[in-house]
Structure 1
Amino acid sequence: MIEKQKKVRKYNVGKSSSKTMRSASLDTISGLYERFCNYKQTEGVSQRTLKDYQSHFHYLMKFLDDEDISRKEMTRDVFREYISWMLYEQGLSPVTVNVRLRTLRAFLRFCFKEGYIEHPIHEDLKILRTPQDLIESFTVEEIRQLLSVIDKESYTGFRDALIIQFLLDTMVRVSELVAIRRENVNLDDGFVKLEATETKTRRARLVPLSARTIVILKEYLKETKEFESEYLFLTYEGSPLSADTVRWTLRQIGQATNITKKRVSPHTFRHTGALLYIMNGGDPFSLQKILGHSDMSMTRKYIQMTDIDVKAQHDMFSPLNSIF
């Protein structure tokens, strides 16, 4: 590993004085990274993204033994060694490494464009190749099993069954789900509005609701009106649900069934909804808009079909069906 200079300070985003930031940003990686995060904040990135940036930087500092390095020590070889350390010493998967690598590349690109480093190091740090595995999704029978173990006579059971149906129908992310307010729900027109501040792409979008979901939502809205909360999905005490609570609840529902080989999570329902949308005759372009993807490449990953799915589609739409 490179020879390190004496320890300057631990990374502490947003808490240093402007004087400290100005002096540190010219000399150390932690100061530069702080300036990078402040710059990203002015671009309007979400708090969740900023939190991820901090987490990724702490992991880099772990590799550096929590010691700052100077701008001159920020070389291509240092960061290649960091990638190797993540892969072979920490045992991280290429997918996980790529998540941290994308943040690192964005940081180094910022440093080069702002003139803090002389060479475009980010261009030499390539995203790792990963296997193109099928994205996990539920079968129709598995969804029925999950719904069957829920006690829909209780408030929490009724709400949990609605959440599963809502996730499948709208294909929203869990962070978007828990941020929905009652005023965002338009049952007359059959849409839910997702605010730009709560979406991953920072763009507002309208998500359509099916007639079945509208019927159950009407009942749920009446049930929760007495809580007088601005949020849609609530605990039995009337507090807004958190994303972690939704994840935990779905895991508990999964454990009550014999579905053991698949992860029962909000994202699996999002994948499943996307696949069923296409299987039922939906087109990928409207699906892309519903999912909130900025390009079609991500949408294609969501609608990968198993061999059984392809066989079923072929049976329905074989060219021979129009001849014989």
Structure 2
Amino acid sequence: MDESAQGSENEYSQTRLVSSSEILPTSITPAFSRSWDEVVAGFLASAIDSDGTRRAYARHLRRAGELFGGVPPSMLTGAQLSSFRASVTGSGLSPSSQAQALSALRSFLTWTGSMGGHYLPSEVIATALRTPRATVRRRYSVITEKEISSMLEAAPGKREKALLGLLLGAGLRVAEASRLAIADIVEEHDGDVVLFVRQGKGRKDRVVPIGPEVDALLRDFITSTGRYLGDQGPLLLANDRGSGRRQDHGLSTRSLCRMVSQVAQSAGISAKRVTPHSLRHTYAIRCLRAGGNVVAVSRLLGHSSITTTQRYVDHLQESELRAAVPALPMPFEDQLAS
């Protein structure tokens, strides 16, 4: 982020909106007369299921609370919501981050309003916090077949190879890989193996079939830890000093992200940022290239809408356009710098 954008973001997080005086309803539920932070904590704990969404919303709502001076939701006005929107849209944040900030406050106010925490009409909330019109379309970050091989070869241990198998061979989200248990690896009667992904994004379960090479990576890791298919406990175990004292011995999402980054660096991939999600993107593109239809790939990825999966098709189509571009005749090619 450049200095001007950083300055704008700081302004968004520090500017305080002064509460306007007006007559407010007196029959507000007592629980919602508490401080902003207390009500936000209740909202995040009870209304948001995704860990990633919870963290993002917490960040945006904390900034909103600073702008509103920490007053409870019952004291907010439509004018303040409009001022908040103006501070977000003028902050230098990316269009997707702006949309997320406004969505966070809309969701929060919808939840508090449904429980008698304020009496702002839903029309006021929708209008004052409307999302700016913008086309946010970024190319997916993926790795090549050669880079896949390099990462698998560079993975220092069987645990790291198993993780790559889950991300590149099953397209799991990082939180899904972190939560996957050994018992979620199911061998069916015909010998095929599937992963039972519990409580994925949107609290939806799904079944993801895996190929024999991914199955081999997982079995090899499980065997190396002295465990068996069907055992209880997380698949990917932490081995840091404090892991034995924790109730959950599984790897955290942060540890998984760090692990993927380290393996990518060891594989010599330095010109692009490799994350668990870019490996998931790679899985989706590879499925489509292998002939998978959009509906099937959407189910494999656990998308709630096929529109999300269609973006991968658009990415694929753009990539395939390269084959239609003819090369220029270059009689002086030997004179060009390599």
TM normalised by structure 1 equals 0.76
The 2-side partners of 1:162 and 1:38 are apart by 32
Matched, 1:4 2:19: yes
Task: State the partner residue of 1:23.
Answer: 30
Alpha-carbon distance change, 225 to 312 in structure 1, aligned in 2, over 3 angstroms: farther
Percent of residue pairs bearing the same amino acid type: 22
CA contact (8 A) 2:50 2:202 kept: no
Task: State the partner residue of 2:269.
Answer: 259
The 2-side partners of 1:84 and 1:264 are apart by 34
Cα deviation, 1:257-282, whole Å, max 9, x if unaligned, reads 44333221100000010011001111
CA contact (8 A) 2:20 2:77 kept: no
The equivalences for 1:274-285 within 5 A come to 274-285=284-295
Amino acid at match of 2:177: L
- Show structure 1 runs of 5+ residues with no match: 7-20, 152-156, 315-324
Task: State the partner residue of 1:13.
Answer: none
The 2-side partners of 1:23 and 1:213 are apart by 54
Amino acid at match of 1:265: T
The 1-side partners of 2:64 and 2:261 are apart by 31
Alpha-carbon distance change, 167 to 255 in structure 1, aligned in 2, over 3 angstroms: same
The equivalences for 1:261-300 within 5 A come to 261-300=271-310
The 1-side partners of 2:238 and 2:45 are apart by 35
The 1-side partners of 2:261 and 2:38 are apart by 40
- Show structure 2 runs of 5+ residues with no match: 1-15, 22-27, 244-248, 326-338
Secondary structure at the aligned position of 1:231 is classed as coil
Matched, 1:307 2:318: yes
The equivalences for 1:70-109 within 5 A come to 71-75=74-78, 77-89=79-91, 91-109=92-110
Amino acid at match of 2:236: F
Secondary structure at the aligned position of 1:191 is classed as strand
Q: CA deviation at 1:180?
A: 0.8
Alpha-carbon distance change, 302 to 224 in structure 1, aligned in 2, over 3 angstroms: farther
Secondary structure at the aligned position of 2:270 is classed as coil
The 2-side partners of 1:250 and 1:38 are apart by 29
TM normalised by structure 2 equals 0.73
Task: State the partner residue of 2:184.
Answer: 184
| Equivalent of 1:144 in 145, 149, 156 | 149
CA contact (8 A) 1:180 1:194 kept: yes
Coordinate RMSD, CA, aligned = 3.2
Alpha-carbon distance change, 24 to 213 in structure 1, aligned in 2, over 3 angstroms: closer
Task: State the partner residue of 1:318.
Answer: none
Alpha-carbon distance change, 207 to 149 in structure 1, aligned in 2, over 3 angstroms: same
CA contact (8 A) 1:4 1:69 kept: no
Alpha-carbon distance change, 242 to 205 in structure 1, aligned in 2, over 3 angstroms: same
